[in-house]
């Protein structure tokens, strides 16, 4: 079987990796591999810290994918000869002041209700664990099991394994015969055919002609990378997240000394970096860890998270020759092992019986249709999935 994967972010690359393990031939197409949302991501693998009220179908998926990470990272590292920078030094979710502590207690109640084990600790105990924390930190929730990786190292490692089959071009349309996708086309009229096509183009997944109008929303995030002076290194030992005047902020510490300070969350359609957002991140970050103002800024990146109306991914068939795997929103790095394996198995006809119960339905593209999802093509052969949205509550994001 030959499969075309459109989009080489972490989801497309993980899908390609799993397809190869299943014995499929793979062609990956992307004009700028690894430069989408994955390039911005902080790399927190933090199912408990990501708990938000009302998202219970997401928790089993996040938990399952977090458990898949150590073996996924080890297998890719052995094939690529380069690792992901996987660390398991945990997360401290800190309260900037007493009012934030109240919000943190509510968050912990949600985490406990979702089945995660966390510990509420005092500000002094938090400073014992992370001496760089500000004296004003009023308390913290400790999540010892959280992991993190460097998403840029992940794309480099995965690309080195699959690079021989990577085409640096932009797909403009799906090619359909008899209502079934048989390949993809480019702006100059060139075409490539395959047995299956998987669209993993992140926030641009529905801009390809012939794709259904998926209910994707672009949630822009600005994020900074910093380096502490030698005298202050390591500034932090794990991930510090927190609430400052109710605003979420995080600082992720990498094993090579890099710090990632993020992230804004905007749906204003502005692709460029927002000066106000950068100012607020530095302001809120230094309220938790004053030493970040002594660091050098090495990078500022702005990218769009591929959001869905219910914050769950969108994975499933568009027609008999085409699948979509997108909508990973602020969890795409965490969900990459699960999403990659799921997309690869659906494309090759393997039953994903390992998925948590209800997992397939919770991510189905058909869940946004007023009518039950049908794989029947419309008269023009262009779209099998309608995009009538259910009213949903949108949540504030931190990652």
Binding stretches for ligand FAD (CB under 6 A)? 6-12, 29-33, 35-38, 40-44, 170-171, 200-202, 204, 208, 221, 223, 262-263, 303, 305-306, 326, 328-334, 399
The least distance separating ligand FAD from the CB of residue 228, rounded to whole angstroms, comes to 20
Give DSSP secondary structure letters for 340-371: HHHHHHHHHT---TTSPTTHHHHH-GGGG-SS
The rounded distance, in Å, linking the Cα atoms of 82 and 75 is 10
Rg (CA), the chain: 21
CB of 98 to ligand FAD, least distance (A): 28
Question: H-helix or E-strand containing 222?
Answer: strand 217-227
Residue 59 or 127 having the CB closest to ligand FAD: 59
E strands, 245-396, in order: 247-253, 258-262, 296-307, 314-319, 322-326
Shortest reach from residue 260's CB to ligand FAD, in Å: 8
Burial (Cβ within 10 Å: 0-12, 13-18, ≥19) of residue 179: middle
Shortest approach of ligand FAD to residue 394 CB, angstroms? 16
Q: Closer CB to ligand FAD, residue 31 or residue 54?
A: 31
List the beta bridge partners of residue 333. none
Instruction: Give how far the C-alpha of residue 209 lies from the chain's centroid of Cα atoms, to the nearest Å.
Output: 25
Given the complex with ligand FAD, which of 43 and 316 has the nearer CB atom? Answer: 43
**Residue closer to ligand FAD (CB basis): 60 or 306:** 306
Least distance to ligand FAD, CB of residue 378, Å: 21
Judged by CB, which is closer to ligand FAD: 136, or 283? Answer: 283
Of 138 and 312, the one with the shorter C-beta distance to ligand FAD is 312
Least distance from ligand FAD to the Cβ atom of residue 214, Å: 12
Q: What is the DSSP letter of 209?
A: B
Question: Which tokens is 312 given?
Answer: 């769950």
């Amino acid at each position: 079987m030959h499969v075309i994967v459109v989009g080489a972010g972490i989801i497309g690359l993980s899908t390609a990796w799993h397809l190869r393990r299943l014995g499929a031939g793979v062609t990956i197409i992307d004009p700028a591999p690894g430069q989408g949302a994955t390039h911005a991501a902080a790399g927190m693998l933090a199912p408990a810290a990501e708990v938000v009220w009302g998202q219970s179908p997401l928790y089993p998926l996040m938990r399952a994918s977090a458990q898949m990470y150590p073996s996924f990272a080890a297998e890719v590292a052995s094939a690529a000869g380069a690792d992901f920078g996987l660390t398991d030094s945990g997360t401290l979710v800190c309260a900037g002041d007493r009012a934030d502590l109240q919000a943190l207690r509510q968050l912990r109640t949600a985490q406990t209700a979702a089945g995660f084990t966390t510990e509420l600790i005092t500000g002094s105990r938090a400073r014992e664990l992370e001496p760089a924390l500000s004296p004003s930190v009023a308390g913290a929730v400790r999540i010892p099991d959280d992991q993190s990786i460097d998403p840029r190292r992940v794309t480099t490692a995965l690309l080195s394994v699959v690079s021989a089959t990577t085409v640096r071009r932009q797909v403009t349309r799906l090619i359909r015969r008899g209502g079934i996708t048989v390949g993809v086309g480019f702006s100059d009229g060139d075409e490539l055919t395959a047995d299956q096509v998987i669209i993993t183009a992140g926030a641009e997944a529905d801009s390809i002609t012939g794709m259904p109008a998926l209910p994707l929303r672009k949630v822009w995030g600005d994020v900074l990378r910093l380096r502490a002076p030698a005298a202050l290194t390591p500034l932090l030992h794990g991930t510090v997240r927190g609430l400052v005047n109710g605003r979420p902020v995080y600082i992720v510490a990498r094993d090579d000394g890099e710090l990632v300070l993020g992230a804004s969350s905007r749906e204003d359609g502005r692709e460029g970096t927002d000066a106000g957002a950068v100012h607020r991140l530095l302001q809120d970050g230094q309220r938790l860890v004053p030493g970040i103002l002594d660091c050098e800024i090495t990078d500022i990146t702005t990218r769009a998270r591929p959001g869905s109306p219910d914050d769950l991914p969108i994975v499933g068939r568009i027609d008999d020759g085409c699948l979509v795997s997108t909508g990973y929103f602020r969890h795409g790095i965490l969900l990459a092992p699960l999403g990659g394996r799921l997309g690869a198995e659906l494309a090759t006809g393997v039953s994903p019986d390992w998925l948590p119960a209800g997992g397939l339905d919770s991510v189905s593209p058909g869940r946004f249709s007023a009518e039950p999802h049908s794989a029947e093509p419309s008269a023009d052969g262009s779209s099998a999935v309608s995009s009538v949205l259910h009213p949903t509550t949108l949540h504030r994001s931190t990652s």
